[in-house]
Amino acid sequence: MKIRVGFEMLYDFPQPTPMIMVLGTHFSRASDIIVPDLLTTSPAVEISPYRDMFGNWCSRMVAPAGRMRLAADGIVRDSGQPDPVVAAAFQHAVEDLPADTLVYLLGSRYCETDRLSEVAWQLFEKTPPGWARVQAICDFVHRHIAFGYEHARATKTAWEAYNEGKGVCRDYAHLAIAFCRCMNIPARYCTGYLSDIGTPLPWAVGDFAGWFEAYLGGRWHMFDPRNNVPRIGRILIAQGRDASDVPITQTFGPNTLVSFKVWTDEIA
Protein backbone atom coordinates (compact mmCIF):
# COMPACT_ATOMS: atom_id res chain seq x y z
CA MET A 1 0.00 0.00 0.00
CA LYS A 2 1.15 3.55 -0.77
CA ILE A 3 -0.04 6.45 1.37
CA ARG A 4 0.24 10.11 0.47
CA VAL A 5 1.00 12.21 3.56
CA GLY A 6 1.37 15.93 3.93
CA PHE A 7 0.18 19.22 5.32
CA GLU A 8 -0.21 22.92 4.64
CA MET A 9 -0.10 25.58 7.35
CA LEU A 10 -0.46 29.31 6.84
CA TYR A 11 0.80 31.72 9.49
CA ASP A 12 0.76 35.49 9.82
CA PHE A 13 3.75 36.98 11.67
CA PRO A 14 3.86 40.65 12.77
CA GLN A 15 7.65 40.49 13.02
CA PRO A 16 10.53 38.11 12.17
CA THR A 17 9.98 35.07 14.40
CA PRO A 18 12.19 32.03 15.13
CA MET A 19 10.46 28.65 14.75
CA ILE A 20 11.20 24.99 15.48
CA MET A 21 9.33 22.33 13.52
CA VAL A 22 9.01 18.55 13.96
CA LEU A 23 7.16 17.60 10.81
CA GLY A 24 8.90 14.91 8.76
CA THR A 25 8.33 11.16 8.63
CA HIS A 26 10.33 9.50 11.42
CA PHE A 27 13.75 8.03 10.50
CA SER A 28 12.52 4.56 11.55
CA ARG A 29 10.32 4.63 8.41
CA ALA A 30 13.15 5.76 6.13
CA SER A 31 13.12 2.56 4.06
CA ASP A 32 9.38 3.08 3.41
CA ILE A 33 9.70 6.60 2.00
CA ILE A 34 9.02 6.69 -1.74
CA VAL A 35 8.69 10.47 -2.12
CA PRO A 36 10.24 12.39 0.83
CA ASP A 37 7.86 14.73 2.65
CA LEU A 38 10.39 17.54 2.68
CA LEU A 39 9.44 20.75 4.43
CA THR A 40 9.02 23.71 2.08
CA THR A 41 8.29 27.34 2.87
CA SER A 42 6.88 30.28 0.97
CA PRO A 43 8.57 32.69 0.95
CA ALA A 44 11.70 30.55 0.86
CA VAL A 45 13.94 30.86 3.92
CA GLU A 46 16.99 29.01 5.20
CA ILE A 47 16.04 25.87 7.15
CA SER A 48 18.57 24.25 9.49
CA PRO A 49 18.01 20.59 10.45
CA TYR A 50 19.14 18.96 13.69
CA ARG A 51 18.40 15.92 15.87
CA ASP A 52 16.88 16.42 19.29
CA MET A 53 17.70 14.37 22.42
CA PHE A 54 15.15 11.71 21.41
CA GLY A 55 16.58 11.24 17.92
CA ASN A 56 13.80 13.10 16.11
CA TRP A 57 14.70 15.13 13.04
CA CYS A 58 13.79 18.77 13.65
CA SER A 59 14.04 21.96 11.60
CA ARG A 60 14.63 25.55 12.66
CA MET A 61 14.20 28.82 10.79
CA VAL A 62 13.30 32.46 11.20
CA ALA A 63 9.97 33.29 9.61
CA PRO A 64 9.88 36.80 8.09
CA ALA A 65 7.13 39.27 8.93
CA GLY A 66 3.95 38.67 6.94
CA ARG A 67 2.26 35.55 5.56
CA MET A 68 4.27 32.30 5.74
CA ARG A 69 3.29 28.97 4.18
CA LEU A 70 4.70 25.69 5.53
CA ALA A 71 3.98 22.58 3.49
CA ALA A 72 5.07 19.04 2.68
CA ASP A 73 3.74 16.32 0.41
CA GLY A 74 5.22 12.82 0.32
CA ILE A 75 4.46 9.16 -0.35
CA VAL A 76 5.15 6.40 2.16
CA ARG A 77 4.99 2.64 1.63
CA ASP A 78 2.91 0.83 4.26
CA SER A 79 2.09 -2.82 4.95
CA GLY A 80 -1.63 -2.11 4.84
CA GLN A 81 -2.00 -4.25 7.95
CA PRO A 82 -3.68 -3.09 11.18
CA ASP A 83 -1.56 -2.17 14.21
CA PRO A 84 -0.02 -5.37 15.64
CA VAL A 85 -1.32 -6.95 18.84
CA VAL A 86 1.27 -8.89 20.87
CA ALA A 87 -0.77 -10.23 23.77
CA ALA A 88 2.15 -12.29 25.14
CA ALA A 89 4.43 -9.24 25.63
CA PHE A 90 5.52 -9.29 29.27
CA GLN A 91 6.21 -6.55 31.79
CA HIS A 92 9.82 -6.12 32.91
CA ALA A 93 10.86 -5.71 36.51
CA VAL A 94 12.20 -2.18 36.93
CA GLU A 95 15.69 -3.46 37.75
CA ASP A 96 15.75 -5.36 34.43
CA LEU A 97 14.79 -2.43 32.22
CA PRO A 98 17.37 -1.03 29.76
CA ALA A 99 18.86 2.23 30.98
CA ASP A 100 17.51 4.22 28.03
CA THR A 101 13.90 3.36 28.96
CA LEU A 102 14.10 4.65 32.53
CA VAL A 103 13.39 8.28 31.59
CA TYR A 104 9.99 7.06 30.40
CA LEU A 105 9.10 5.92 33.92
CA LEU A 106 9.38 9.45 35.30
CA GLY A 107 6.79 12.19 35.55
CA SER A 108 6.92 14.87 32.85
CA ARG A 109 5.28 18.17 31.90
CA TYR A 110 1.90 16.70 30.96
CA CYS A 111 2.07 13.35 32.79
CA GLU A 112 1.97 13.88 36.57
CA THR A 113 2.76 10.46 37.96
CA ASP A 114 2.87 11.83 41.51
CA ARG A 115 -0.75 12.96 41.33
CA LEU A 116 -2.03 9.87 39.54
CA SER A 117 -0.09 7.08 41.25
CA GLU A 118 -2.70 6.25 43.88
CA VAL A 119 -5.50 6.33 41.30
CA ALA A 120 -3.51 4.07 38.96
CA TRP A 121 -2.84 1.43 41.62
CA GLN A 122 -6.47 1.44 42.72
CA LEU A 123 -7.61 0.91 39.14
CA PHE A 124 -4.99 -1.48 37.76
CA GLU A 125 -3.20 -3.29 40.60
CA LYS A 126 -5.20 -6.48 40.03
CA THR A 127 -4.81 -6.53 36.23
CA PRO A 128 -2.36 -9.07 34.74
CA PRO A 129 1.06 -7.43 34.21
CA GLY A 130 2.23 -6.94 30.64
CA TRP A 131 0.15 -6.37 27.52
CA ALA A 132 -3.13 -7.04 29.33
CA ARG A 133 -2.38 -4.32 31.88
CA VAL A 134 -1.57 -1.71 29.24
CA GLN A 135 -4.70 -2.69 27.31
CA ALA A 136 -6.75 -2.36 30.52
CA ILE A 137 -5.34 1.15 30.89
CA CYS A 138 -6.29 1.97 27.30
CA ASP A 139 -9.79 0.56 27.81
CA PHE A 140 -10.31 2.72 30.90
CA VAL A 141 -8.97 5.89 29.28
CA HIS A 142 -11.03 5.27 26.13
CA ARG A 143 -14.22 5.03 28.23
CA HIS A 144 -13.33 7.78 30.68
CA ILE A 145 -12.55 10.63 28.24
CA ALA A 146 -15.17 12.07 25.90
CA PHE A 147 -13.56 13.22 22.63
CA GLY A 148 -14.17 16.69 21.25
CA TYR A 149 -11.99 19.31 19.55
CA GLU A 150 -13.79 21.93 21.62
CA HIS A 151 -12.14 20.35 24.68
CA ALA A 152 -8.60 20.94 23.37
CA ARG A 153 -6.35 23.06 25.56
CA ALA A 154 -2.61 23.47 25.12
CA THR A 155 -2.01 23.43 28.88
CA LYS A 156 -4.18 20.41 29.74
CA THR A 157 -2.35 17.71 31.69
CA ALA A 158 -3.12 14.05 32.35
CA TRP A 159 -4.38 14.91 35.83
CA GLU A 160 -6.74 17.53 34.41
CA ALA A 161 -7.93 15.20 31.65
CA TYR A 162 -8.69 12.55 34.28
CA ASN A 163 -10.71 14.97 36.39
CA GLU A 164 -12.48 16.70 33.48
CA GLY A 165 -13.23 13.50 31.54
CA LYS A 166 -12.91 15.14 28.15
CA GLY A 167 -10.20 16.00 25.64
CA VAL A 168 -8.51 15.22 22.34
CA CYS A 169 -6.13 12.45 21.25
CA ARG A 170 -3.12 13.90 23.07
CA ASP A 171 -5.09 13.93 26.33
CA TYR A 172 -5.97 10.26 25.93
CA ALA A 173 -2.29 9.50 25.31
CA HIS A 174 -1.06 11.60 28.24
CA LEU A 175 -3.42 9.95 30.72
CA ALA A 176 -2.55 6.43 29.51
CA ILE A 177 1.17 7.24 29.60
CA ALA A 178 0.91 8.54 33.16
CA PHE A 179 -0.99 5.43 34.28
CA CYS A 180 1.58 3.13 32.63
CA ARG A 181 4.47 4.92 34.33
CA CYS A 182 2.66 4.72 37.67
CA MET A 183 2.46 0.94 37.13
CA ASN A 184 6.23 0.80 36.37
CA ILE A 185 5.81 0.40 32.60
CA PRO A 186 7.93 2.78 30.46
CA ALA A 187 5.70 4.77 28.11
CA ARG A 188 6.49 7.47 25.56
CA TYR A 189 4.37 9.90 23.54
CA CYS A 190 4.12 9.61 19.75
CA THR A 191 2.85 12.02 17.13
CA GLY A 192 2.25 11.39 13.45
CA TYR A 193 -0.21 10.76 10.67
CA LEU A 194 -3.11 8.33 11.11
CA SER A 195 -5.20 7.44 8.07
CA ASP A 196 -8.91 6.60 8.05
CA ILE A 197 -8.28 3.64 5.76
CA GLY A 198 -10.54 0.75 6.73
CA THR A 199 -12.94 2.85 8.79
CA PRO A 200 -16.54 3.73 7.81
CA LEU A 201 -17.32 6.87 5.84
CA PRO A 202 -17.73 9.79 6.23
CA TRP A 203 -14.16 10.49 7.31
CA ALA A 204 -13.28 13.40 9.53
CA VAL A 205 -11.16 16.33 8.37
CA GLY A 206 -7.46 15.40 8.37
CA ASP A 207 -5.34 16.10 11.42
CA PHE A 208 -2.15 14.95 13.09
CA ALA A 209 -2.67 12.26 15.73
CA GLY A 210 -1.23 11.44 19.16
CA TRP A 211 -0.74 7.93 20.58
CA PHE A 212 1.86 6.21 22.75
CA GLU A 213 4.26 3.29 22.97
CA ALA A 214 4.86 1.05 25.98
CA TYR A 215 8.03 -0.97 26.58
CA LEU A 216 7.09 -4.63 27.00
CA GLY A 217 8.86 -7.88 26.20
CA GLY A 218 12.11 -6.21 25.14
CA ARG A 219 10.69 -3.73 22.63
CA TRP A 220 8.34 -0.79 22.17
CA HIS A 221 4.71 -1.50 21.27
CA MET A 222 2.10 0.92 19.92
CA PHE A 223 -1.15 1.68 21.79
CA ASP A 224 -3.90 4.13 20.87
CA PRO A 225 -6.39 4.81 23.70
CA ARG A 226 -8.26 7.40 21.62
CA ASN A 227 -9.39 4.88 18.97
CA ASN A 228 -8.65 1.71 20.98
CA VAL A 229 -8.83 -0.55 17.93
CA PRO A 230 -6.01 -1.54 15.51
CA ARG A 231 -5.82 0.97 12.67
CA ILE A 232 -4.25 0.93 9.21
CA GLY A 233 -1.77 3.52 7.94
CA ARG A 234 -0.11 4.93 11.04
CA ILE A 235 2.96 7.01 10.06
CA LEU A 236 5.21 8.09 12.94
CA ILE A 237 6.73 11.57 13.00
CA ALA A 238 8.29 11.91 16.46
CA GLN A 239 8.58 10.45 19.97
CA GLY A 240 9.20 12.04 23.36
CA ARG A 241 8.25 12.07 27.02
CA ASP A 242 5.00 13.90 26.22
CA ALA A 243 3.66 16.47 23.77
CA SER A 244 5.94 19.18 25.14
CA ASP A 245 8.92 17.33 23.59
CA VAL A 246 7.42 16.98 20.10
CA PRO A 247 5.33 20.03 19.18
CA ILE A 248 4.54 20.12 15.47
CA THR A 249 5.62 23.76 15.49
CA GLN A 250 7.10 25.91 18.24
CA THR A 251 7.09 29.65 17.66
CA PHE A 252 9.08 32.19 19.65
CA GLY A 253 6.92 35.25 19.17
CA PRO A 254 3.35 36.38 18.39
CA ASN A 255 1.63 34.85 15.37
CA THR A 256 -1.74 33.81 13.95
CA LEU A 257 -2.39 30.36 12.48
CA VAL A 258 -4.60 31.26 9.50
CA SER A 259 -5.28 27.77 8.13
CA PHE A 260 -4.29 24.17 8.77
CA LYS A 261 -4.69 21.13 6.49
CA VAL A 262 -3.41 17.57 6.87
CA TRP A 263 -3.87 14.62 4.51
CA THR A 264 -3.22 10.88 4.78
CA ASP A 265 -4.66 9.25 1.67
CA GLU A 266 -4.25 5.83 0.08
CA ILE A 267 -2.93 5.93 -3.49
CA ALA A 268 -4.71 3.44 -5.72
- Measured CA to CA, the distance from residue 139 to residue 122 in angstroms comes to 15
With cut-offs at 50, 70 and 90, classify the pLDDT of residue 205. Answer: confident
Provide the residue ranges of all domains of the chain, joining segments of one domain with +. Answer: 2-80+248-267, 94-243
- Residue 139's pLDDT is 98
Mean pLDDT of 212-220: 98
3-state secondary structure 155-205: CCCHHHHHHHCEECHHHHHHHHHHHHHHCCCCEEEEEEEECCCCCCCCCCC
Residues 46-72 have a mean pLDDT of: 96
- Predicted confidence at residue 58, as pLDDT, reads 96
Q: What angle do CA 84, 87, 92 make, to 5 degrees?
A: 110
Under CATH, which number does the domain 2-80+248-267 receive?
2.60.40.2250
Average pLDDT on 26-42 reads 96
- pLDDT reading at 201 higher than 90: no
The pLDDT mean for the chain works out to 96
CB burial of residue 43 (10 Å; 0-12, 13-18, 19+):
exposed
Sequence-ordered list of residues with C-beta below 8 angstroms from that of 180, at least 6 positions apart, any chain: 134, 137, 186, 187, 212, 214
In CATH terms, the fold of domain 94-243 is C8orf32 fold (3.10.620)
Could you report the per-residue pLDDT of 87-119, keeping only the tens digit for each? 999 999 999 999 999 999 999 999 999 999 999
Q: 3-state DSSP call for residue 102?
A: helix
Predicted TM-score of the model (pTM): 0.95
Q: How many of the other CB atoms lie within 10 Å of CB of 47?
A: 15
Give the H/E segment covering residue 114: helix 113-124
